[in-house]
Amino acid sequence: MNLPAALKRISETVWELPVSHKEGMQVPARIFATEKLLKEMDAGVFDQVSNVASLPGIVRYAYCMPDGHWGYGFPIGGMAAMDPHRGVISPGGIGFDINCGMRLVLTNLTFDEVQPRLRQLVDRLFARIPTGVGCHGFVRLKQGDFRAVMEQGSRWCLEHGFATAEDLEMTEEGGCFSGARAADVSDKAVERGYNQLGTLGSGNHYCEIQVVKPENVFHQGLAESFGLNIPNQVVIMFHCGSRGFGHQVATDYLKVFLSVMERKYGIRIVDRELACAPFNSPEGQAYFSAMKCAVNMAFANRQVILHRIREVFSELFHRDPFDLGMRMIYDVAHNTAKLERHMVDGKQKELLVHRKGSTRAFGPGSAGIPECYRETGQPVIIGGSMETGSYLLAGMESGADAFFTTAHGSGRTMSRHQAKKNYRGDKLQREMEARGIYVRTDSFGGLAEEAGAAYKNIDEVVETTELAGLSRRVARLVPIGNIKG
């Protein structure tokens, strides 16, 4: 593609669009990429990241991570920190799937122990974790109970026997964003989502059984600190979010913001998907609270799914899940806005950090991460395609330059439409099984869309985050079993 003429190279992995690139930009835009990844980015990335740079109250830069691609409002892989006193909050900086995120869980089992039962394991996970279009969850709630889930997140799970105290400690923000008020959520969002607790969803959501091969460990010390200390250790990774509930919250407030943004607050934007309101406005605060409700629902969703995964492993291996070493490494959120403290011009400031398809990656010594990770930095979980594998990384001190944010996945390069033309889901399933990856799905069409070749090379993406000083590689995780949403 043709790169914007104004794009300047700052370093091997950092590129900048100056404020002169587009009228209205308040700050420059920075893109983290190697030259190769930059050339693979679609034109929408440059357009969208410079639109983000024009939002009121943005601090330092509008950022795009190496997995960046075209999104709605913000690019996927986008991040922007706003001054909470004079800046805005925008659903377009968070995404429709609020708190779509990744969870990584240890076992003390090896590949040799799991392999003979792999089909059985995947079949049982597939039977017991609802997936696909319009699925209802295995946790049945009344609408009133669901309001408690919204406000309490994983804490609700702890009270109801779906979690341990350690699970909450190993979840970003303890599995609950405080200040979530159910009253800020529409009845429609509640009705759309209250029966979806305990569902994986569809699209690129999945639950995967993976192996950590000794040759794929990049940093032995960090790997051991994160609990990876057995050769060919089996881990479980899963990816899902706030389901129809979060989608409805985002849709509701997109409309609210469109109705007040210009008329009441005089804010003009170039893209309706960047609809926003001042953070310190009734509408901005109501959305912040409703968004937190969706964040908490997503944490609870991943927590009850973990409980179910533990049950399945326990049944199949006839051992208690904790005897199987099924402890969480961490749970990270992709699509959120959060108040965090960061250094700006030598002073610590509170900022509203929007992350849209990007991951918080706090470095060693940061507050807000579990005590056991204070020296290592926060674990960062990056999901690749189901064919090519995923990564465990760690936050770095140098990540401060990007408000401690890194990539979230490999990022698509081929449209879903094209992937369906190029691949057949049933054939792909057979080919993957021949290569040692057993996949179950509700939808062969959906499987074809997730073919590995439809994504960027995950190795290049994570290597770039390391070169850019955003996150360091700990281990590469190779898939052996997958249930695809």
Partner 1 sequence: MSFKYLGDIAVADIAFEATGATIEELFSSAAQATMQVMVGELGSIREAETMQVEMEQQSAEMLLFDFLNELLFYKDARRLLLLPSEIKISQSGDHLLMRGELRGETLDGERHRMETDVKAVTLHRFSVTQTPEGWKATVVLDV
Range 76-115, binding partner 1 (CB under 8 A) = 76, 96-97
* For partner 1, the closer CB: 195 or 378: 195
Binder to partner 1 among 22, 69, 155, 408 (CB under 8 A)?
A: 69
Range 116-135, binding partner 1 (CB under 8 A) = 132-134
Establish how many alpha carbons lie within 13 A of residue 336's alpha carbon, considering only the half-sphere containing its beta carbon: 29
* For partner 1, the closer CB: 247 or 308: 247
Binder to partner 1 among 84, 244, 389, 481 (CB under 8 A)?
A: 244
Which residues are catalytic, by number? Answer: 408
C-alpha closest to that of 293 among 252, 351, 258 = 252
Residues contacting 26, CB < 8 A, separation 6+: 19, 53, 54, 55, 56, 58
Range 406-435, binding partner 1 (CB under 8 A) = 412-418
Residue 380 β-bridge partners:
393
Residues contacting 347, CB < 8 A, separation 6+: none
Residues 145-161 as b/e (b if ≥16 CB within 10 A, e otherwise) read ebbbbbbbbbbbbbebe
- Report in angstroms how near the CB of residue 324 gets to partner 1 at its nearest: 31
Binder to partner 1 among 103, 243, 338, 476 (CB under 8 A)?
A: 243
* For partner 1, the closer CB: 132 or 325: 132
* For partner 1, the closer CB: 143 or 178: 143
C-alpha closest to that of 88 among 341, 257, 203 = 257
- Report in angstroms how near the CB of residue 245 gets to partner 1 at its nearest: 8
Please provide residue 368's backbone torsions phi and psi, each rounded to the nearest 5 degrees. 90, 10
Structure tokens at 111: 């590949």
- How far is Cα 226 from Cα 221, in angstroms, rounded to an integer? 9
* For partner 1, the closer CB: 30 or 192: 192
* For partner 1, the closer CB: 84 or 201: 201
* For partner 1, the closer CB: 74 or 226: 74
- Report in angstroms how near the CB of residue 192 gets to partner 1 at its nearest: 5
Q: Residues 355-394: x/- map of binding to partner 1 (CB under 8 A)? A: ----------------------------------------
- Report in angstroms how near the CB of residue 235 gets to partner 1 at its nearest: 26
Range 273-302, binding partner 1 (CB under 8 A) = 273, 275
Q: Residues 177-196: x/- map of binding to partner 1 (CB under 8 A)? A: -----------x--xxx-xx
- How far is Cα 170 from Cα 172, in angstroms, rounded to an integer? 7
* For partner 1, the closer CB: 90 or 164: 90
Residue 354 β-bridge partners:
80, 337
**Stretch of 49-57, 269-277, 399-407, 431-439 contacting partner 1, by CB under 8 A:** 269-277
**Stretch of 119-127, 245-253, 295-303, 469-477 contacting partner 1, by CB under 8 A:** 245-253
Residue recorded with tokens 């190795």: 459
From the CA atom positions of the chain, what is the Rg in Å? 21
- Report in angstroms how near the CB of residue 12 gets to partner 1 at its nearest: 26
CB atoms < 10 A from the CB of 112, how many? 10
Establish how many alpha carbons lie within 13 A of residue 282's alpha carbon, considering only the half-sphere containing its beta carbon: 3
Q: Does 201 bind partner 1 (CB under 8 A)?
A: yes
Q: Residues 448-467: x/- map of binding to partner 1 (CB under 8 A)? A: -x------------------
- How far is Cα 232 from Cα 223, in angstroms, rounded to an integer? 13
Binder to partner 1 among 4, 18, 203, 452 (CB under 8 A)?
A: 203
Interface residues with partner 1 (CB under 8 A) are 42, 69-73, 76, 96-97, 132-134, 136, 188, 191-193, 195-196, 201-203, 243-244, 247-248, 250-251, 254-255, 258, 271-273, 275, 412-418, 442-443, 445-446, 449, 485
